Structure 1
Amino acid sequence: MDKPDFSTAKWRKSTGSGDGGCVEIAYVGGTIGVRDTKDNGTGPILMFNEREWTAFLSGARGGEFNLDTLAD
């Protein structure tokens, strides 16, 4: 499988993002890319397929990744 080309992707970040703590998300051909905003598009991109992303979002909505849960 070829690596998706994120060079022209529309990157989005949460309206809840603040200075120095933001990530951006883009969708290209069935792959979700996640990158650190402060890298100005030059850093690495983590890639997930739709099934992995859906599982992550479900866990996030359910509180599985809240800071207090992760600290345990």
Structure 2
Amino acid sequence: MKSNQADLLIKVLYSCASALILLGAFFKLQHYPYGSQLLITGSILGIVMLIIDNTRLKNQLKKLQEQQKD
């Protein structure tokens, strides 16, 4: 996957996680069903995306450092 495509995918998934968290908070405030599930799902998605994004950026940083040494 190219870097631009990966960046776009990560932005979209971060946005989905944020939307789930906000929607879950709204559901909890209004005492609608499934508010907790939405909050948990959004939080887990956000954490997973954070881990994937950090790993990807660390790998890119290592490649740049290796290129700079050469």
Please, what TM-score do these two structures have when normalized by structure 1?
0.28
Structure with the higher helix share, 1 or 2: 2
Structure with the higher strand share, 1 or 2: 1
Instruction: Report which structure shows greater RCO (CA 8 Å, sep ≥6).
Output: 2
Kindly name which structure, 1 or 2, has the bigger radius of gyration based on alpha carbons: 2
